[in-house]
């Protein structure tokens, strides 16, 4: 595994608070509680680089991690979290809209889905939005450790068909076993070097 130097920069509640940077940025988005922050921790090989919670809604703001002084990973709150107040929902919507529509250096969406479940309408909306913005897109199916081996092929096919993404562009992942860590780093590096422009 290649060593990556990862530095947590800041947690920003609004687009105006985001770090000024022209480094290419990769945003990790997905349903609440799907395992986005755990995936970041697995990637950077630390337990608490990003906050992980047993209850949905743990990540509240836009969290910036600088990698190798070359690019940023951004951990954002999950969508589809039912137990937010109306005011919080509005703030969440404004923060995400502000980020996606104003962040000039945003290069790619890493969409995290749960290996076990059919992606939701929110997931489809998210990926279609990224397509409209002509962002590179990568899909990571996490919590693979919770799946029965005999069901893997069927589950992955369902993810591929629902999101309209080729099977080969879906990374198998588990923050517990660390499966997928190397593939995800490689894919990020490839996108960065534009060796493969994964515009799916
Ligand atoms: P929000 O910040 O609320 O959007 O959640 P999140 O998507 O960041 O999820 P988080 O990483 O906080 O993880 C949610 C729960 O899932 C925690 O209890 C994790 O321990 C668990 N979890 C995350 N990834 C995995 C995984 O690969 N396998 C298993 N078995 N559990 C996982
Ligand atoms: Mg989180």
138 lies in a domain?
A: yes
Residue 78 domain flag: yes
Query: pLDDT band at 121, cuts 50/70/90?
Result: very high
The residue with greater pLDDT, 112 or 96, is 112
Whether 76 is covered by a domain: the verdict is: yes
Alpha helices (runs of H) in 45-177, residue ranges in sequence order: 86-102, 121-132, 152-163
Q: What is the pLDDT of residue 200?
A: 52
**Ligand 1 atom nearest to 52, measured from its CA:** 12
What is the arrangement of strands in the sheet containing 106-114, beginning at the earlier edge strand? 6-12, 62-67, 71-75, 25-30, 106-114, 136-142, 170-172
In which domain, by residue range, is 13 found? 6-192
| Cα(38) to centroid(ligand 1), Å | 5
Residues 29-45 have a mean pLDDT of 89
pLDDT at residue 28 is higher than 70: yes
- Average pLDDT value for residue range 132-148: 95
Q: Which ligand is nearest to the CA of 29?
A: 1
Within a domain: residue 151?
yes
Beta-carbon contacts of 106 under 8 Å, excluding residues fewer than 6 positions away, are 25, 27, 99, 100, 133, 135
Q: Is residue 199 in some structural domain? A: no
pTM of the model: 0.91
Q: Cα 57 to chain center, whole Å?
A: 15
- 200 domain residue, yes or no: no
The CATH number covering residue 47 comes to 3.40.50.300
Q: Please give the tally of structural domains in the chain.
A: 1
Q: What is the mean predicted confidence (pLDDT) over 34-44?
A: 89
Q: Is residue 197 part of a domain?
A: no
Q: What is the C-alpha separation between 153 and 121, in angstroms, rounded?
A: 22
Q: Residue 43: in which H helix or E strand, if any?
A: helix 36-44
Q: E strand or H helix at 37, and its extent?
A: helix 36-44
Q: Which residues line ligand 1 (CB under 6 A)?
A: 30, 32-38, 52-54, 56-59, 77-78, 142-143, 145-146, 174-176
Nearest ligand, measured from the Cα of 32: 1
Asked, for residue 198, whether it belongs to a domain, the answer is no
């Amino acid at each position: 595994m290649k060593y990556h130097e990862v530095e947590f920069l800041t947690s920003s509640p609004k687009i105006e608070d985001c770090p000024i940077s022209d480094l290419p940025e990769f945003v990790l988005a997905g349903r609440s509680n799907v395992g986005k922050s755990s995936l970041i921790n697995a990637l950077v090989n630390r337990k608490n680089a990003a906050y992980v919670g047993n209850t949905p809604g743990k990540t509240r703001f836009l969290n910036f991690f600088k990698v190798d002084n070359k690019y940023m990973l951004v951990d954002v709150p999950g969508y589809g979290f039912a137990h937010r107040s109306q005011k919080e929902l509005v703030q969440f919507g404004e923060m995400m809209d502000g980020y996606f529509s104003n962040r000039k250096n945003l290069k790619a969406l890493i969409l995290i889905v749960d290996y076990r479940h059919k992606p939701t309408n929110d997931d489809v909306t998210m990926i279609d939005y990224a397509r409209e913005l002509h962002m590179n897109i990568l899909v990571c199916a996490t919590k693979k450790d919770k799946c029965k081996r005999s069901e893997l092929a069927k589950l992955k096919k369902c993810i591929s068909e629902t999101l309209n993404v080729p099977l080969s562009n879906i990374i198998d992942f588990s923050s517990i076993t660390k499966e997928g860590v190397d593939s995800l780093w490689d894919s990020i590096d490839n996108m960065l070097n534009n060796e493969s422009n994964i515009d799916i």
